[in-house]
Amino acid sequence: SFAGYIQGTATAFGTFALLAGSPTVSDKSILDDVALSSNPFTPNGDGINDKVTISCTVNGSVNAGHVKIFDSTGRVVRAKYLNAYDFSYYFNYPWDGKDDRGIDLPSGVYVYEISATSVSNPDEPEDRASFENAPDATVVRGAVVVIR
């Protein structure tokens, strides 16, 4: 459930959302200082705020992780599994408002999740829980708004 991240409100322009608080970081500290380049962002091809970059500081060694984008129903619409080469002192993930198939997603609120661990090969890396249960896993979640 994303109830802690999103509060919806209907307007004449459609349904938009207010963000509730800042990104949450689990109590472990591999990832820190999470920031968004633009929120909301407007992926309409005009060259202004067409992508959002989710960034954070990496504190220590990371061997595996993922970035996932969820729609308001909790469905994963974009996922990328990461290895040590994807993490350095500073991690950046640009998102263009498209799903894994390259299709534009509609306006709305999306929840992002970044997970990182120093464990070399967590069991079943496609399973979200395997990252969260790693001894040193850090999970960051927050919300971003797409306006088309």
* Cis upstream peptide for 23 (omega within 30°): no
Choice among 19-28, 54-63, 88-97, 105-114 with the minimum mean pLDDT: 19-28
Angle CA 53–57–58, to nearest 5: 120
pLDDT, tens digit, for every residue of 57-95? 898 888 888 899 999 999 999 999 888 888 888 899 999
**Sheet order of strands, 138-146 included:** 24-25, 138-146, 108-117, 64-70, 76-83
Residue 6 has pLDDT above 50, yes or no: no
Residue 62: predicted pLDDT = 84
Half-sphere exposure of 26 (CA within 13 A, CB side): 18
- Which one-letter amino acid corresponds to residue 37? S
